[in-house]
Amino acid sequence: MIYAVYLLNLVLILVILRIDHLMNDSNRYFLGYLSLHFIFQLVTTLNISFFYIFGYGLPIVLVCIGRLLAFVFFLLFIISIFKNKRASLNFLYLIPFLILVLANHLNSSGIKFTDLTTNSLASENILGFNTGDFEGKEDLFVVCCLNAIVFTFLIFFNYIKILDSKEISDKLKKIISNFMTYYYVLITIAMLSTLTLVGLFLVGFHSPLLISLVKILSTITILVLVIKPSLLKKLTSIKNIKVIDESLNEVFAKIESLFSRSKGYLNPNYVISNISVEIGYRNELVRDSIKKNSKMSVPLYINSFRVEYACKLIKQGYLENFSMEALAEKSGFKSQENFNRVFKQLKSCTPSEFYKGVQ
């Protein structure tokens, strides 16, 4: 598998260069984290190469930290897409690193809480992890496994939040789903399989066939990003789907178009999230475009259409057969009091005064 490792190095370098080429000010907030994810993947594969060439690699604690950084930056990549802004690092992200360093220090000092090995281990490099380096450092290995499980859960949890979000378009969800399916699901299987094989190796089970299969899977997973360059290229279109580079005037035009062809605002529970879902833009874009172009808040903007609808009904003689309370309800207001207040705010007269004026 030496040649496969060299191929993996080359493919990762190509992927990093491609991401750098695709990166611009509009997508840097999430592609920057994705690039760092692959850089730390490359650190791991380069460590394998050094082991094969020189018989020596990075200290195992640094390998574990490198793997953890790959998890962290992919998590930040997913969160940045969900929030549509750069996710920030905070103190909580430091805790797993501190625990890794503490476990390594305790094990190096001869203090162990876990004892998996009974005999001296043979040296086997499994995707960057030299099994012999874990001899006497089983606690470090356990912490590494726990970090992998926790961050895998967090990544998929935030991915599910993207899929469930009503503020993110179906097109964007499909792009993220394809990337997760063709890359991250497979690489997660490879990473977790690697840790499983290392654990089995520590307790005395050694399967060269399984090790080779995991190495092949890792190589194919990264190679997919070169064979299917659209997976990365489509990520850059997120800025267009989420209207990062589209003017608020254009967003407002689509909102006006929605209100002209649909009377969803007659539903008293119609709010900004309904608009966001129907036109495919985030709440803040809807809010900013309405504020900029109508000088109104979103609730007042929605109510303005309800008031205009009520005025139309009054002119058509609605109040000759129905009460003012019925008019308020039919126009989408939850109460007559709110109807009267908003009507006067927008028309400078009460509904009754308006009715008298059109008689």
Residue 228 has pLDDT above 60, yes or no: yes
Share of the chain above pLDDT 70, in %: 91
Q: 160 with 66, same domain?
A: yes
Domain count, the chain: 2
- For the chain, the distance separating the N- and C-terminal CA atoms, rounded to the nearest angstrom, is 90
Q: 333 with 216, same domain?
A: no
Q: 61 with 110, same domain?
A: yes
Q: Which residues contact 141 (CB under 8 A, 6 or more apart)?
A: 114, 116, 134, 195, 198, 199, 202
Q: Which domain holds residue 302?
A: 248-358
Q: What is the pLDDT of residues 284-334, one digit of tens each?
A: 888 888 988 888 999 999 999 999 999 999 898 888 888 999 999 999 998
Residue 247 has pLDDT above 80, yes or no: no
Residue keyed to tokens 């254009």 = 250
Q: Which residues contact 92 (CB under 8 A, 6 or more apart)?
A: none
Residue 183 has pLDDT above 70, yes or no: yes
Q: Count the alpha carbons within 13 Å of 62 in the hemisphere toward its beta carbon.
A: 7
User: Of 241, 258, 279, which residue constitutes the final position of a domain?
Assistant: 241
**CATH number of the domain within which 317 lies:** 1.10.10.60
| Selection from 5-9, 72-76, 210-214, 253-257 with the highest mean pLDDT | 72-76
Q: 106 with 208, same domain?
A: yes
Q: 146 with 275, same domain?
A: no
User: Of 221, 241, 261, which residue constitutes the final position of a domain?
Assistant: 241
Q: 57 with 161, same domain?
A: yes
* CB 278, CB 264: distance < 8 Å: yes
**CATH number of the domain within which 60 lies:** 1.20.1070
pLDDT bin (cut points 50, 70, 90) of residue 12 is: confident
As a whole number, mean pLDDT of residues 161-172 equals 79
Q: 267 with 218, same domain?
A: no
Quick one: DSSP state of residue 316?
T
Burial state string for 111-121 with b = 16 or more CB within 10 A and e = fewer than 16: eeeeebbeeeb
In this structure, which amino acid lies at residue 131?
T
Quick one: DSSP state of residue 125?
E
pTM for the predicted model, two decimal places:
0.65
* CB 222, CB 215: distance < 8 Å: no
* CB 44, CB 66: distance < 8 Å: yes
User: Of 241, 260, 283, which residue constitutes the final position of a domain?
Assistant: 241
Q: 291 with 182, same domain?
A: no
Q: 8 with 111, same domain?
A: yes
Q: 151 with 278, same domain?
A: no
Hey, CA dihedral for 29, 30, 35, 38, is it positive or negative?
positive
- Residue 241 has a pLDDT of 46
Q: What is the pLDDT of residues 85-135, one digit of tens each?
A: 788 888 888 999 999 999 999 998 988 888 776 555 566 666 677 777 777
Q: 69 with 136, same domain?
A: yes
Q: Facing residues of 49 across strands?
A: none
Residue 1 has pLDDT above 60, yes or no: no
* CB 135, CB 112: distance < 8 Å: no
Q: 256 with 287, same domain?
A: yes
